[in-house]
A = this chain, B = another copy of it.
Amino acid sequence: MKRIMLTVAYDGTNYCGWQMEPTGLSVEEVLNKALSKRLNEDIRVKGVSRTDSGVHALANLCIFDTETPIPPEKICFAVNEVLPEDIVVRKSEEVPPDFHPRKCDSLKTYEYTLYHDSLPNPLVRHYTTYYYRRLDVQKMREGAAYLIGEHDFSSFCSAGSQAETKVRRITALEIEEEGTRICFRITGTGFLYNMVRIIVGTLLRTGTGFWPPEKVKEILEAKDRQAAGPKAPAEGLCLVEIRLFPEGFPSSL
């Protein structure tokens, strides 16, 4: 018996999210079926990050145990043969039998990308959010600065969260502008339900001038979802990296 970890990329457009739901098709379900078929065993993966409906990933992680004789690093090629083209296993590797990534300290990085122009671009519509209002990127950066560090993010969490504590640590939040592309890159020790999308929806209000950047501090302190901006649409969001620290976070972090 070997424990295998997969790095999975997917276009979330046609899925109800990572996790199995009574309604809609999930990435997890399609992956379980493909692995079970290809490895000829009943496989049920355990995922690390539950992305929402319509959200993309370049590198989500999951584990499962298997008796397959296929070498661990070749499993990705085997399963990709039976996966639909919107899900690709980018890497497969053996991990210790007691390894569970959800029990490791981790840093997750999400990118939220806007297509910012007076008219939409059909070639990027599935992977960016179209936004036409004038934005002051510097003001959004000023607002973002209040979110960096350890805070109670209750104001940035949708109802329905099962999290025991709403305290999370954001280690980096950068906003890059390049032509018509504005990208919010957020790294943290964990994210609450819809947290990245509510952060982006809130920062957009500082970018348009609807709120001054200092309002973000007030919103944090309110610990009330009603205080923050609306959640930004799913299509602009992508989980780009998960870094695991099996020995715990280094003290430098």
Binding site for B on A (CB under 8 A): 9-11, 56, 58, 76-77, 80, 85-90, 119-123, 125, 127, 238
Contact = CB atoms under 8 A, between A and B. Distances in A.
A56 B123 CA distance: 8
Contact of A120 (B88, B119, B123): B88
Contact of A76 (B9, B76, B119): B119
A10 to B, nearest CB: 6
Contacts of A238: 123
Contacts of A121: 9, 58, 88
16 contacts: A9-B121, A11-B122, A11-B123, A11-B125, A56-B123, A77-B119, A80-B119, A85-B122, A86-B125, A87-B122, A88-B119, A88-B120, A88-B121, A88-B122, A90-B119, A123-B238
A123 B85 CA distance: 10
Contacts of A122: 9-11, 85-88
Contacts of A125: 11, 85-86
A158 B216 CA distance: 59
Secondary structure at chain A's binding surface: helix, strand, loop or mixed?
A: mixed
Contacts of A58: 121, 123
A11 B127 CA distance: 13
Contacts of A87: 122
A131 to B, nearest CB: 15
A123 B128 CA distance: 11
Contacts of A127: 123
B123 A9 contact: yes
Contacts of A10: 122
Contacts of A9: 121-123
A237 B91 CA distance: 28
Contacts of A90: 119
Nearest to A117: B90
Nearest to A11: B122
Given A86-B122, A88-B120, A123-B127, 17 more contacts: A9-B122, A10-B122, A11-B122, A11-B123, A11-B125, A56-B123, A58-B121, A77-B119, A80-B119, A80-B120, A85-B120, A86-B125, A87-B122, A88-B121, A89-B119, A90-B119, A123-B238
A174 B76 CA distance: 34
The 7 closest A-B pairs by CB, nearest first: A11-B122, A86-B122, A88-B122, A88-B120, A90-B119, A9-B122, A10-B122
